[in-house]
Each structure stands twice: as structure tokens, then as C-alpha cells.
């Protein structure tokens, strides 16, 4: 395992180093698909300059990162390239570690005999961590995001560390990293539920409202989470000695004032909307991101890791300023679900659409902004298609997961009562 | 459950017949575009230019010709652009005059225009708008060409400047520009005006500016009397100006009574006869070929990059009876500028994507895209078929299990390496084709008795041909025998790659995408390792991008009614390649990199499949 990993790391570093030195390094950070107003490196540099001048970095309407990030970069600004490389590397390795620890019980005797082919052999399991790392490190989306020095790479690293700690069962570290991720971009808040479920599962505490041990642990975890979140927010306050950052960071994320086109669903919609509907629809759009937590947690309460995947995917599709770096994060999970492959229905269609859309983004941008011959509708059409494909992909995986569970308990080849073969219909 | 797969043979036949039908339908659709009932009549969409009345009174055609002759004399005396005389003359006509000098070293000598180290000066005068805050501008340019060309255009430009100066209507600055060394000078001026430098030229900054340029016309006149005016629209990378600019030109030609042509072809009224249709089809195909070449076909071509609607107007003097004097052309331009002066916002109402079978008829994007779509759908059908063959459940079926098809690991099973190697090697060949010709010209000149230009072109052709021998069967080194699944996966990759590539190309430059699709789709659809090798290889070479270019050269000459012999055609082909490389280096045309870095490697992938063992 070590040799291919080293090779993988070397290849990944080489690609990034080459790109950092090439002429593309100036072009990529300008692409709206790769950087958002939240995580553009240009804005971080601006914030740092303001900080050095003794002005609040949030004085202008340019910088929207959290105070901890700016102090972090304050110390490592000269090594920014290396930091970004290390961060992506970190994510890769973390993914590697966490899936090594994944155990998919080979409890074959518990299931009907014909399901054996649904359960992965140890040999297949062996390569999954490597595949996950490869999917993340060599994903063009990650590479673009890293070359653009988007701080999205840092957020991904934090989320990856959170997943690692959760999987390892360290509830304190898990809570701290979850708080850090929430502090960075609010949306990871929804990962609270799967983390809690997973930790409960690890401690063999059933999710039961009447059990005191359930309540005890939940309170404990919530307390750790809120405590560390509180510490971070207060620390930010003491660093800058003002509460400016709250409105500049979280207000900016939640009220979506910057309508620069990106690959998300917000910009066009809010650019077209009458002003007096704005508040209502912002609420609808933002609640939409958080809303799925409840039904998914109920449905997937036995499978918290899959729930984490679903949540990350939903966040990266519906968040207010998505970039390709966010998409890369949940795509890295896909090899972990390769046992679902045979149940996927639209994978060909979805991958072709995702591929075509990724190529069409720059083309339509060119036609709209440079050639002036197309307009924003063209670009938004592609955005919409891209997101529909992502939603299809995620729901396809969700369906496949449920389907596999069903087959695990009921046998692979279903028979109707009259003996003919039956098909499953998702309702 | 989906029904059991049909026997391979009948499925193959069905697919083949669908493909052939789609292909024929695509071609038929395209040819139908030139048929008049299927096209739309042009109409002015822009309100600001539509209903207002303009009276043209430009009187001074004869004097403009005299100025032109004076200019010619000074040009001869100086042996180039008579900068001092031009500055003085423009100043005496009441313009603010500025000059800009530029130098440019071409990557290799341009043999068509005989230039290598280019040094020149642009002279421009700004007529400040008396009636508005000078935030917008219009440009009228005339190139100062070698020899005796275009003197009348400069004369008319100066005449118009003097006449416009006396009028009080102007709400936009009007910039009169005389550019040296045609497009190179224009590029220098435009980049100076907009503070950009995309191609690494060297020029002095502009001292004077008008407002943001709304529209531009480039004038080319080489005789005192002309018989017709030709409108040139095709710009850099196949970009076209807003159709309203063409409408404006056509409307004034109708009003003043000047014969006007597009692609050098007059309009005909007998659309229901065979010859009438073939005339329209020829006009449209000329436009398609010019657009596909991606080069600017007049000095206006570079304006389009800056969001400025621009066209070239070219005076043609043939042996027709009908003659037009310079006063009339002056009136025509006056009218056009008066209307452009009325613009309240940039031209945007009308179409940007269109083809014109005649000046009064156009085909919009909604009508011509299906022709491309029908070709592209073949690629997708084939990809889908391969996907099914590879054993995954086809998309859209209800049940993944029921097929009972054993999926080992989906498409990645034949080993990523065996797919990745041909892809990487093909692209490396593409990169070599893109970079080596210019890098290695010196070496080639030292070792072979050729000029630099020939060296570049011949190196390009040599690498292109070497690519055919080099990359195939690399997978065998790694894996021993290539598997049946291996080529299917490779072909699936190649098909999707080609479909996305052609789709993107067709969006930016429909003509280029369509011509490439015409030649590449058949081979992409039918190539397998099991087809007869020699025959397929011959067909593949004949339909390769390089050969497509060669046919285009011949067809273009044929359509222009200047057919060439095989020998001349070949020489023309060589010069077209060198022009393509130069256009990329000088103006940033994208056709050469597209062909070298993307289309050619894609074709090599298909070539790889043919020789898969």
C-alpha cells in the first residue's frame, strides 16, 4: 500500500507544481467555477493587506473569510503554495486512513446465501482507501481548486479530519473539527446528526428516546460541539476585537449579496427576482440545504457514514457559493461505494452530462463575457443541467444503497408470490 | 426487465442504419439551409437605427479622390506610410491627431505578404462629439497597403473626416484610423486602445482616446469607380458582428442604389430554379468555409474580440455595366454613420449566430444547429451502444439486477493503464505538433535546403505523419495482448471526448465544428479493430483533419470560381498551414491549437483502435 501511495503523492505533487509554474496559474484563479467570493485567494491577500495596515480586514466588501483563516495565512503567507499542496495532500491521506478503518462486516451467515456476491471481499476492500485518495488527489476539480489557491481546500481538509476523528471514535476531536468546519462555512452543521449517530453506534448505544445513556451522550457531544464553536467565535472576537466578522462572513453566506455567476443555483435566481420577494426566497433556499438532514437521518440512521456522504453532497449542490472544490470532496467518496455499482441506473447518463457540462462552462462563459454573443441564460442553463446531474447522481447512489440493503435482507433474486421474478419500485 | 439483447448482428445493422440515416439527414438539413423558403428575411431589429430618417448629402467625392492621389504620391515618395503628411492633413481637417508606432517580429517569415520584422505607424484622428459627453465612439478605418492599393479609401476617409467635421449631429466621437501593415497594425492599435497585450507585441501607448467604441467599419477601395460593394463579416475565430450591422449596410445599399454582394456573390431572385438554389448554396458554403478558417477576413476582424461590432466594406471593380462613383459611396458611409450615431446602446437586438445564403436572407442558430445535432447524436448512440456492450445496465431501465449481466467492475476493468497510455501518447504527439514546428525551424533550415516558412510547414506535416506510425499498440508493452474490452473502453472514451469537443467547437464556431463533424463522425462511428485494415486505414487517412483541410482548400477555390490545379492546390495548402500558425501567433486565432492539441490526438485515438491487437 505504501508504494502506490508514494507514487500517487508524487504524481499529484508534480501535476500541481507544474501547473503552479505554468501560465495557467494566472488564468485558473479568475475562473468563477473554481473560486467563489468566499474563498478566492485574491480576496485573502486583500484581507491580509488590510490587516497589515491596521484596518479591519472586513472594512471593505472584499474579504469574507473567517478571522482564524486570515491569522493562519498571516503566518504562512510566504508558503501559501506549499500550504495548499499540503492541505490537499492531507485530505488525500486522511481519506486513506479513514477508509482503512472502515469495516464492512462479513457476517455472511446473517444474510441469505445468494447475497454473498453483494458483500465485498477483503481484497476489494484493501484497495478502496487508495482509490479514494486517488479520486481526490487526481480529480481535475481538486487540482484546479488547489492551483487557484482557493481556501476551499482548507475547508475540505477540516471536514476530512472531522470524518477521520469520527470514524476513529474520538468524540472530542470530532466535535472540535466539526465546530471548526461549521465556523468556516456554517453548512457543515448538518453533519452533526450523522456524527452523533455514528458515535452512538460505536458505543453500542441505541437511538432510543427513553434511554438515559442516549441523552447523556447526546448532551455531552452537543456540549463539546457548542463549547468549541463558542471558543472559536470568541477567539475571533479577541483577535480582531470587533464583531464585524459575523455579518461579513455568516451574513454574507446566508443573505447571498454577491451574485457573481458560479456553478450554484442562487445567482441567476436572485438576480432576476423582485426585491420584495428576496427575503422569502432566501429563507426557502437556505432552509432547503438544512432540511434534508431530518428525513435522511431517519432513513439512514443505521448507516451514518453514507449519511455523511449524502449530507456533504447536498451541501455542495445547494450551498450559496459552491465551487468545484466542494464537488471534489464528495466525489472522493464514490469509490467507497463501488459495491453499489451494479444497482446504479443512470451512471452513464450522469457522467456524460457532468463531463459535457464541465467542458461547456468555460465555452459558454467565453461566449457570454468575451464574445458577447450569448447571454447569462446560456450559462445558467448549463449550471442547471450540471446540478440536475449531480442531484441525479446522489439520488441514484441513495436508491442503490437502499436497494442493496433490501437485497441483503430479502435475498438477491426476488420472487413474487406466484413464483415469477419481481422488480423493485422505489416509492 | 429489459428485453434480452438482440442478436449482435441485427443490432449492429440497426445501429449502422440509424447512423447512416442521421448522417444523411444532417447533411441534407445543412444543404437545405440555403433553400430560400427555409430561411428568414433580414430585418432591422434595432429601433434606434430603424425608423429614423437620414438625409445623405456628402458632396465631395471628386475632392476625396484627389486627396487619395496626393496620398499615393506621398506614399511613393516616403516608400511606406506618409506619417507626416497624414498628420498634417488630418490636423488641417480639424481632427485631434495622434500616432502610434509598433514593431513586431513574426515567429517566421510570412511569404504571402513578404514580411518578417514589421515596423510601422498608425495614424488616427479623433473628431470629438459636439453634442454629447464623449463617452462613446465609432471607428472608420482604412488600411495603408503596399503598392497602389487602397489609396482611394484613405482619400475618402479624409474627405469624410472633413465633411463630418462641419456637421453638428455627432453624439459619439468618430475615430478616423489609417493603419499600416493591415492586421498587425490594427492589433497594435486595438490593444493600445484597450490596454491589453494578449500576443506579446511591442507598441507605444496611445496618447489620445475617444469613448468606448460601439461600432467600426473598415473601408477598402482601390479604384475611382466601383461596380459593387462587398460586405465582409467573418472575424477572428469565426466570430460574426451583430446581424443588424449587415442589415444596416444592406438597407443603405438598397436606398442609395448601390449593387451589394456578400462573399462576392450578387443576390438572385430565382430561388425556385436549380441554378438559383446552387448560387445560394455556394454563397453559404463560402461563408461556412471562411468562418471555419477562424482567421479575420478583413481588418475589422480583430474588433469583434473587444465586443465591438465591425465589418469590412470592400469596393469591387469588375466588368459590369453598373458603375458607382466615390460620392455615392461617401453618401452611403455618411448614412451608416449617422444611423450608428443614433445608437443608444450597443448593437445587441439582432442575431450573433447566423449564416447568410444572400445579403437579404439569413439562417439563425436555431435552424442550423439541428444539422450538427444530427451528426453529434451518432456519436452518442455509438457510445451508448458500447456502454451496453460493456455489460452495464443501460440507463433508463428499471432494474439493475434483472439483466443478469455480470459486471466485474464496470469500465475500469481492462486496466486504467492500457487506456491511459494511448490517450497520453496521442496528446504528447499533439503537443509536439503544436510546439515543435516553430521551435525547430532553425535546426531544419541548417540541415535542409528550405526556407524558414517551408521548414515550419514541412515539420508540421512530418510530425503529423509520424504520429500515424508512432503511438499505436503501446498498450501491448504493458499488458501483453490488448483485450476485446480494452478497445471498447478506449473507443467509448474517444467517442465521448470527440462529442464534447465537437459540441464545444460548434458552439463557438459552428462552421468549424460542422466541417470537422462531417469528416470525423463517420470514422468515429464505424472504426473497430475488426474492419479490413488496409481499407479502413486508407479511409481514416483520407478523412483525417489534415486531409479535410486540403479538401477545404480545393472546395474554397472551386466556389470562388478560381479553380486550381493539383500542384497549385498543394502549394496553397502549405501556405494555408503557415497562415494558420501565423494567425495563432499574431492574433491569437484558436484553430491551430484546437486542431493540434485536441482534434488530432482524438483522431489518433481512433487510429489506435483500428490497430488494436
DSSP state of B176: E
pLDDT of residue B396: 38
Q: Determine the pLDDT at residue B411.
A: 41
pLDDT digits (tens, 9 = 90+) for A251-284: 999 988 888 898 988 899 898 888 888 999 999 9
Cell for A80?
Answer: 501559501
Backbone angles phi, psi at B125, to 5 degrees: -120, 140
Please classify residue A427 by burial: count the beta carbons closer than 10 Å to its beta carbon, then call 0-12 exposed, 13-18 middle and 19+ buried: exposed
B97: β partners: B125
At residue A212, the pLDDT reads 85
How far apart CA B611 and CA B527 sit, in angstroms, is: 10
The residue in chain B having the minimum alpha-carbon distance to the alpha carbon of residue A373 is: B352
Q: B507 — contact with chain A (CB < 8 Å)? A: yes
Element (H, E) at A169: none
Q: Which of A128, A360, A366, A373 to mutate to test the interface with B (most CBs of B within 10 A)?
A: A373
pLDDT at A42: 85
- pLDDT, residue B376, reads 93
Lookup: cell for A307: 449519511
Residue of B nearest to A369 (CA): B307
Widest distance between CA atoms in chain B: 88
pLDDT at residue B441 in the model? 80
Phi and psi angles of residue A34, each rounded to the nearest 5 degrees, phi first: -95, -40
Helix/strand/coil (H/E/C) assignment for every residue in B313-332 = EEEECCCCCCCECHHHHHHH
* pLDDT tier for residue B140 given thresholds of 50, 70 and 90: very high
Question: Is the model's pLDDT at B392 over the cut of 60?
Answer: no
B400·A345 Cβ contact <8 A: yes
Q: Which of A135, A372, A396 to mutate to test the interface with B (most CBs of B within 10 A)?
A: A372
Nearest neighbour of A360 by CB, restricted to B397, B402, B504: B504
State the DSSP code for A415. Answer: B
Residue among B530, B2, B358 at smallest CA distance from A423: B2
Report how far Cα A214 is from the mean position of its chain's Cα atoms: 28
Structure confidence by residue, pLDDT tens digits, B91-118: 998 889 999 999 988 888 888 777 888 8
Chain B's closest residue to A339, CA to CA, is B409
Partner residues linked to B140 by β-bridges = B176, B217
Q: Which of A31, A133, A92 is nearest to A358 (CA)?
A: A31
Q: Which residues of A touch B496 (CB under 8 A)?
A: 352, 355
- Residue B132 gets the label, from left (phi > 0), alpha (psi -120 to 50) or beta, of beta
CB contact under 8 A, B507 and A367: yes
| Predicted pLDDT at B603 | 92
Phi, psi of B178 (to 5 degrees): -110, 110
- Report the pLDDT value the prediction gives residue A394, as an integer from 0 to 100: 92
Rounded alpha-carbon distances, angstroms, from residue B535 to A164, B465, B494 = 58, 18, 21
pLDDT tens column, A380-399: 999 999 999 999 999 999 99
Over residues A169-192, the pLDDT tens digits come to 888 988 999 999 999 888 999 999
CA distances, B374 to each of A228, A357, B19, B513, B514 (Å): 59, 20, 9, 13, 11
Say how far apart CA A133 and CA A362 lie, in whole Å. Answer: 27
φ, ψ of residue A350 to 5 degrees: the values are -65, -45
Residue B87 forms contact with A (CB below 8 Å): no
Question: SS3 for B550?
Answer: helix
Q: Which of A358, A400, A402 is nearest to A382 (CA)?
A: A358
State the average pLDDT over residues B263-278. 86
Which of A26, A340, A368, A371 has the highest number of chain B CBs within 10 A, making it the mutation to test binding with B? Answer: A371
How high is the pLDDT of residue B412?
43
Chain A residues whose beta carbon lies within 8 Å of the beta carbon of residue B392: 347-348
Burial of B381 (0-12, 13-18, 19+ CB in 10 A): middle
Residues of B whose CB is below 8 A from A424 = 399
Cβ–Cβ under 8 Å, residues A307 and A194: yes
* CB contact at 8 A, B41 and B360: yes
**pLDDT value of position A16:** 80
Whether residue B511 is predicted with pLDDT greater than 90 in this model: the reply is yes
Q: Which residue from B387, B407, B504 is facing A348, i.e. has the nearest CB? A: B387
What is the C-alpha separation between B119 and B185, in angstroms, rounded?
9
To the nearest whole angstrom, how far is the Cα of A198 from the nearest Cα of chain B? 29
SS3 B522: helix
Residue of A15, A348, A379, A400 best to disrupt the B interface, most CBs of B under 10 A: A348
What digits encode the pLDDT tens for the residues B275-324? 989 999 999 999 999 999 999 998 998 999 888 999 999 988 887 788 88
Whether B383 contacts chain A with CB within 8 A: yes
The pLDDT, as a whole number, for residue A343 is 82
> For residues A233 and A222, what is the distance between their CA atoms, to the nearest angstrom?
16
How confident is the model over B61-70, as a mean pLDDT?
A: 88
Confidence check: pLDDT of A130 > 60 = yes
| Chain B CB contacts of A354 below 8 Å | none
With CB atoms and an 8 Å threshold, state whether A366 touches B508: yes
Return d(Cα B86, Cα B98) in angstroms, integer.
Answer: 10
Chain A: nearest CA to B93, how far in angstroms? 36
Measured between beta carbons, the chain B residues lying within 8 angstroms of A338 are 409
Least confident among B159-168, B374-383, B393-402, B432-441 = B393-402
d(Cα A371, Cα B304) in Å, to the nearest integer?
7
Residue A339 pLDDT greater than 80, yes or no: no
In the sheet that holds B228-232, the strands lie side by side as: B202-203, B96-110, B115-127, B173-180, B136-144, B212-220, B309-316, B228-232, B260-262
pLDDT > 50? residue B394: no
> Average pLDDT of chain A?
81
pLDDT for the residue A72: 78
CA-CA-CA-CA dihedral for B39, B41, B42, B45, to nearest 10? -110
Model confidence pLDDT, tens digit, residues B396-444: 333 333 333 333 344 444 567 777 888 888 898 899 999 888 888 878 8
Q: Which three cell numbers stand for residue B450?
A: 528550405
pLDDT given for residue B532 in this prediction: 85
Task: Work out the average pLDDT over B183-193.
Answer: 91
Which of B504, B510, B483 minimizes the C-alpha distance to B609? B483
Tell me the per-residue pLDDT of A65-96, one tens digit each, with 9 for 90 and over.
888 888 877 776 655 566 666 666 666 666 65
Q: Which of residues 317-356 of B touch A (CB under 8 A)?
A: 346, 348, 352-353
- Residues in chain B within 8 Å Cβ distance of A364: 507
Closest CA to B588 of B295, B311, B304, B308: B295
**Residue (of B605, B613, B582, B591) closest to B115 by Cα position:** B582
Residues sharing a CB contact under 8 Å with residue A174, sequence separation 6 or more, in sequence order? A162, A165, A166, A195, A199
Q: Which of B215, B294, B348, B508 to mutate to test the interface with A (most CBs of A within 10 A)?
A: B508
Span A23-79, pLDDT tens digits: 887 888 888 888 888 888 888 888 888 888 888 888 878 888 888 888 877 776 655
Q: Label residue A248 by pLDDT band (50, 70, 90).
A: confident
| B305 contact A CB<8A | yes
Q: How does pLDDT run across A304-325, given as a tens digit for each residue?
A: 888 988 999 999 999 999 999 8
The closest of A178, A182, A15, A22 to A88, measured between CA atoms, is A15
Q: Which residue of A has its CA nearest to B346?
A: A372
Provide the pLDDT for residue A412.
Answer: 65
Going by C-beta distance under 8 Å and a sequence separation of 6 or more, which residues neighbour residue A8?
A: A92, A130, A133, A134, A137, A138
**Percentage of residues in chain B having pLDDT higher than 90:** 34
**Among partner residues A363, A407, A423, which is closest to B1 by beta-carbon distance?**
A423
Distance from CA of A238 to the nearest CA of B (A): 45
Residue B169 has pLDDT above 50, yes or no: yes
**Edge-to-edge, what's the strand order for the sheet holding B354-358?**
B40-41, B361-364, B354-358
Strands (E), A301-341: none
Residue with cell 465582409: B232
Question: What distances in angstroms separate CA B320 from CA A125, B46, B225, one per listed residue?
Answer: 82, 34, 11
| CB of B407 closer than 8 Å to CB of A342 | yes
pLDDT score recorded for residue A121: 52
Can you give the three-state secondary structure of B329-351, one letter per residue?
HHHHHHHHHHHHHCCCCCCCCCC
In the prediction, which pLDDT does A102 show?
A: 46
| CB-CB under 8 Å, B352 with A371 | yes
**pTM above threshold 0.90:** no
* Confidence band of A107 (pLDDT split at 50, 70, 90): very low
CA–CA dist A207, A200 (Å, integer): 7
Q: Are A59 and A50 in contact (CB under 8 A)?
A: yes
Q: Please check the confidence at residue B510 and state whether its pLDDT lies above 60.
A: yes
Q: What is the rounded average pLDDT for all residues in chain B?
A: 85
C-alpha cell at B365: 442558430
Amino acid at each position: 500500500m505504501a508504494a502506490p501511495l508514494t507514487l500517487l503523492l508524487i504524481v499529484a505533487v508534480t501535476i500541481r507544481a507544474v501547473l503552479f509554474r505554468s501560465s495557467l496559474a494566472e488564468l485558473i484563479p479568475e475562473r468563477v467555477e473554481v473560486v467563489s467570493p468566499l474563498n478566492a485567494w485574491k480576496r485573502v491577500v486583500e484581507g491580509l493587506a488590510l490587516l497589515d495596515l491596521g484596518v479591519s480586514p472586513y472594512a471593505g466588501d472584499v474579504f469574507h473569510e473567517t478571522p482564524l483563516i486570515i491569522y493562519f495565512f498571516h503566518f504562512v503567507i510566504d508558503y501559501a503554495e506549499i500550504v495548499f499542496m499540503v492541505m490537499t495532500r492531507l485530505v488525500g491521506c486522511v481519506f486513506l486512513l479513514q477508509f482503512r478503518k472502515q469495516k464492512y462486516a462479513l457476517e455472511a451467515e446473517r444474510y441469505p446465501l445468494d447475497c454473498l456476491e453483494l458483500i465485498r471481499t477483503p481484497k476489494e476492500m484493501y484497495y478502496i482507501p487508495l482509490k479514494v485518495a486517488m479520486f481526490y488527489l487526481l480529480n481535475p476539480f481538486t487540482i484546479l481548486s488547489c492551483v487557484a489557491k482557493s481556501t476551499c481546500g482548507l475547508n475540505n481538509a477540516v471536514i476530512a479530519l472531522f470524518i477521520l476523528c469520527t470514524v476513529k471514535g474520538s468524540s472530542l476531536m470530532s466535535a472540535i473539527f466539526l465546530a471548526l468546519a461549521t465556523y468556516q462555512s456554517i453548512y457543515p452543521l448538518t453533519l452533526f446528526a450523522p456524527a452523533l449517530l455514528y458515535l452512538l453506534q460505536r458505543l453500542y448505544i441505541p437511538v432510543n428516546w427513553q434511554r438515559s445513556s442516549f441523552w447523556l451522550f447526546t448532551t455531552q457531544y452537543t456540549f463539546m460541539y457548542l463549547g468549541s464553536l463558542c471558543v472559536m467565535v470568541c477567539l475571533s472576537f479577541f483577535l480582531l476585537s470587533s464583531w464585524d466578522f459575523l455579518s461579513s462572513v455568516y451574513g454574507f453566506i446566508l443573505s447571498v449579496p454577491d451574485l457573481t455567476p458560479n456553478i450554484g443555483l442562487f445567482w441567476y435566481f436572485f438576480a432576476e427576482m423582485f426585491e420584495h420577494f428576496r427575503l422569502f426566497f432566501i429563507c426557502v433556499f437556505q432552509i432547503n440545504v438544512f432540511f434534508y438532514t431530518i428525513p435522511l437521518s431517519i432513513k439512514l440512521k443505521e448507516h451514518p457514514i453514507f449519511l455523511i456522504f449524502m449530507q456533504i453532497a447536498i451541501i455542495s449542490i445547494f450551498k450559496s457559493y459552491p465551487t468545484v472544490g466542494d464537488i471534489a470532496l464528495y466525489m472522493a467518496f464514490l469509490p467507497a461505494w463501488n459495491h453499489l455499482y451494479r444497482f446504479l441506473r443512470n451512471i452513464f447518463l450522469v457522467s456524460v452530462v457532468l463531463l459535457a457540462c464541465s467542458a461547456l462552462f468555460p465555452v459558454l462563459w467565453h461566449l457570454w463575457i468575451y464574445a458577447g454573443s450569448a447571454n447569462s441564460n446560456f450559462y445558467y442553463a448549463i449550471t442547471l443541467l450540471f446540478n440536475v446531474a449531480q442531484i441525479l447522481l446522489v439520488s441514484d447512489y441513495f436508491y442503490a444503497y437502499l436497494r442493496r440493503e433490501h437485497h441483503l435482507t430479502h435475498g438477491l433474486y426476488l420472487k413474487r408470490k406466484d413464483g415469477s421474478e419481481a422488480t423493485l419500485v422505489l416509492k | 426487465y429489459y428485453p434480452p439483447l438482440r442478436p449482435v448482428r441485427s443490432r449492429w445493422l440497426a445501429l449502422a442504419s440509424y447512423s447512416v440515416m442521421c448522417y444523411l439527414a444532417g447533411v441534407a438539413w445543412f444543404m437545405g439551409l440555403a433553400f430560400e423558403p427555409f430561411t428568414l428575411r433580414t430585418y432591422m431589429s434595432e429601433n434606434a437605427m430603424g425608423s429614423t430618417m437620414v438625409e445623405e448629402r456628402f458632396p465631395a467625392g471628386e475632392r476625396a479622390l484627389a486627396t487619395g492621389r496626393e496620398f499615393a504620391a506621398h506614399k511613393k515618395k516616403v516608400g511606406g506610410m506618409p506619417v507626416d503628411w497624414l498628420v498634417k492633413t488630418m490636423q488641417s481637417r480639424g481632427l485631434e491627431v495622434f500616432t502610434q508606432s509598433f514593431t513586431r517580429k513574426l515567429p517566421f517569415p510570412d511569404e504571402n505578404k513578404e514580411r518578417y520584422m514589421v515596423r510601422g505607424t498608425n495614424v488616427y484622428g479623433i473628431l470629438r462629439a459636439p453634442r454629447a459627453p464623449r463617452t462613446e465612439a465609432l471607428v472608420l478605418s482604412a488600411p495603408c497597403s503596399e503598392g497602389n492599393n487602397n489609396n482611394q479609401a484613405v482619400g475618402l476617409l479624409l474627405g469624410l473626416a472633413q465633411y463630418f467635421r462641419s456637421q453638428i449631429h455627432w453624439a459619439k466621437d468618430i475615430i478616423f484610423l489609417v493603419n499600416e501593415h493591415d492586421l498587425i497594425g490594427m492589433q497594435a492599435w486595438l490593444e493600445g486602445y484597450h490596454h491589453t497585450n494578449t500576443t506579446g507585441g511591442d507598441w507605444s501607448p496611445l496618447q489620445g482616446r475617444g469613448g468606448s467604441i460601439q461600432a467600426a467599419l473598415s473601408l477598402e477601395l482601390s479604384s475611382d469607380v466601383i461596380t459593387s460593394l462587398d460586405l465582409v463579416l467573418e472575424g477572428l475565430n469565426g466570430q460574426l458582428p451583430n446581424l443588424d450591422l449587415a442589415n444596416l449596410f444592406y438597407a443603405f445599399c438598397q436606398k442609395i442604389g448601390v449593387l451589394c454582394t456578400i462573399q462576392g456573390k450578387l443576390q438572385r431572385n430565382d430561388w425556385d430554379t436549380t441554378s438559383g438554389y446552387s448560387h445560394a448554396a455556394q454563397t453559404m458554403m463560402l461563408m461556412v468555409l471562411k468562418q471555419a478558417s477562424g482567421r479575420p477576413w478583413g481588418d475589422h476582424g480583430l474588433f469583434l474580440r473587444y465586443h465591438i461590432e465591425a465589418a469590412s466594406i470592400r469596393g469591387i471593380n469588375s466588368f459590369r455595366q453598373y458603375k458607382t462613383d466615390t460620392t455615392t459611396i461617401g453618401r452611403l458611409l455618411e448614412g451608416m454613420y449617422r444611423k450608428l450615431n443614433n445608437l443608444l446602446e450597443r448593437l445587441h437586438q439582432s442575431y450573433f449566430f447566423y449564416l447568410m445564403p444572400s445579403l437579404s436572407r439569413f439562417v439563425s442558430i436555431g435552424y442550423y444547429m439541428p444539422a450538427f445535432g444530427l451528426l453529434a447524436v451518432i456519436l452518442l448512440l455509438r457510445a451508448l451502444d458500447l456502454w451496453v456492450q460493456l455489460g452495464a445496465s443501460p440507463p433508463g431501465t428499471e432494474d439493475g439486477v434483472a439483466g443478469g449481466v455480470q459486471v466485474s467492475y464496470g469500465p475500469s476493468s481492462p486496466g486504467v493503464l492500457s487506456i491511459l497510455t494511448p490517450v497520453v501518447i496521442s496528446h504528447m504527439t499533439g503537443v509536439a505538433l503544436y510546439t515543435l514546428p516553430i521551435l525547430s525551424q532553425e535546426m531544419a533550415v541548417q540541415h535542409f535546403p528550405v526556407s524558414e516558412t517551408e521548414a515550419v510547414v514541412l515539420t508540421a506535416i512530418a510530425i503529423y505523419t509520424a504520429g500515424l506510425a508512432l503511438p499505436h499498440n503501446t498498450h501491448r508493452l504493458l499488458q501483453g495482448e490488448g483485450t476485446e474490452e480494452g478497445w471498447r473502453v478506449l473507443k467509448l472514451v474517444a467517442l465521448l471526448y470527440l462529442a464534447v469537443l465537437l459540441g464545444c467547437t460548434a458552439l463557438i464556431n459552428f462552421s468549424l465544428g460542422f466541417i470537422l463533424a462531417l469528416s470525423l463522425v463517420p470514422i468515429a462511428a464505424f472504426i473497430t479493430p475488426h474492419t479490413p485494415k488496409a481499407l479502413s486505414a486508407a479511409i481514416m487517412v483520407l478523412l483525417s483533419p489534415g486531409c479535410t483541410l486540403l479538401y477545404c482548400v480545393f472546395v474554397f477555390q472551386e466556389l470562388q470560381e478560381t479553380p486550381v490545379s493539383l500542384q497549385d492546390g498543394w502549394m496553397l495548402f502549405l501556405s494555408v498551414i503557415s497562415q494558420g500558425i501565423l494567425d495563432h501567433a499574431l492574433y491569437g486565432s484558436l484553430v491551430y491549437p484546437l486542431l493540434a492539441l485536441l482534434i488530432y490526438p482524438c483522431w489518433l485515438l481512433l487510429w489506435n483502435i483500428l490497430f488494436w491487437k
